[in-house]
Amino acid sequence: MAYIGQTPEDKFRGLSAYNSFVGDGSTTAFDLSADAPEGGQNDIQVFVADVRQQPGALKDYTLGLDGSGNIRRITFASAPAGAADIFVINPGRRAGYLFNTVSDNTITTAKIQDGAITADKIADGTIIDADIADGSITGAKINSTFNISAKTVTLPATSVTNDMLAGSIANNKLTNSSVTVNGSTVALGASVEISAGTSWQTVITGATNAVAGNGYFVNTTSGSVTVTLPASPTLGEEVSFIDYAGTFDTNALTVGRNSKNIQGSAADLTVSTERAGFTLVFTDDTQGWLLKDK
């Protein structure tokens, strides 16, 4: 749209800055309290003794840099007379900016639009523990993953109770991931059959390697039978035998000691009593296998 005269302002303007000085007949340079606007010397109003001055190198004054490099210095072509009142109206305007000066601690949270402050607006290391109120950071505000590989995490000096644990703890995460049942190691979560008393086996008629905890019906009808005891027994392990056909007196049962003593003797045990039934229990390497009942 076309306009007669100056185009209307399309931006908010900050409050103009007003500076006043007094001439002394010799000083030609005077520094403003705020930066001059983008229009430079043509966008400020300078008065000496209530007479507006013309800007320009060949006119009344020029605008340039002050000692700090800011565009604030007005330099008159000739020094204003002594006691002459000098005042400058500086609109303080730059495209896209407001020049109102905001005092410290005057912007409240209600003045900040939700979501306006993003992570890239916050300098690294500017927020410390003391700036965060207790309980103000909830789980919903935390990323699902954290890289804390280079950090030390200190947990509170309290015990971890069941209600603090979600779901299950994998067996392989426990210090003890197995249990021992009857001398055998069983992994947690696995199954094992626990026999109450002797586990009796089907009838045997030939040489057999005995297993601790088993009982054997031995049939010697067709000839003598040798049953060899376990090689590495532990305290309290037992092996039982019964004359199945009542023929031990005809064809004897030989119990092989397998390097361990039997009844304190380094010799195999020969049983030739008809209908004999007995149990050997292991004690130690001195006495070895002993008869449980006599």
Q: What is the CATH number of the domain that holds 238?
A: 2.60.120.640
Q: What is the pTM of this model?
A: 0.39
Residue where one domain finishes, among candidates 75, 90, 105: 90
Q: Give the pLDDT score at 153.
A: 79
Choose one of 67, 90, 113: the last residue of a domain.
90
Q: What is the pLDDT of residue 119?
A: 76
User: According to the model, what pLDDT value does residue 253 have?
Assistant: 97
Query: For each of the chain's 294 residues, which pLDDT tens digit applies?
Result: 565 655 555 554 556 789 999 999 999 999 999 888 766 788 899 999 999 999 998 999 999 999 999 999 999 999 999 999 999 998 865 544 444 567 788 888 888 888 788 878 888 878 887 888 887 777 777 777 777 888 887 877 777 777 777 667 777 777 777 888 766 788 877 877 666 689 999 999 999 999 999 999 999 999 999 999 999 999 999 999 999 999 999 999 999 999 999 999 999 999 999 999 999 999 999 999 999 987
Within a domain: 174: no
Q: Which domain holds residue 41?
A: 17-90
pLDDT value of residue 184: 74
CA atoms of 8 and 142, how far apart (whole Å): 48
Using the Cα atoms of residue 107, residue 109, residue 114 and residue 118 in order, give the sign of their dihedral.
Answer: positive
Task: Tell me which amino acid residue 78 is.
Answer: S
In a domain, 262, yes or no: yes
Does residue 225 form part of some domain? yes
Q: Is residue 185 part of a domain?
A: no
Residue 134 lies inside a defined structural domain of this protein:
no
pLDDT at 138: 77
8 lies in some domain: no
- Give the closest residue to 31 by CA, choosing from 54, 65, 80: 65
Is residue 127 one of the residues assigned to a domain? no
Nearest by Cα to 237 from 288, 294, 178: 288
Of 65, 90, 115, the position where a domain reaches its end is: 90
Instruction: Taking the CA atoms of 110, 113, 115 and 116 in sequence, report the sign of the dihedral they define.
Output: negative
As for how many domains the chain has, the answer is 2
The pLDDT of residue 98 = 45
Q: Is 98 inside any structural domain?
A: no
Terminal C-alpha separation, the chain: 124
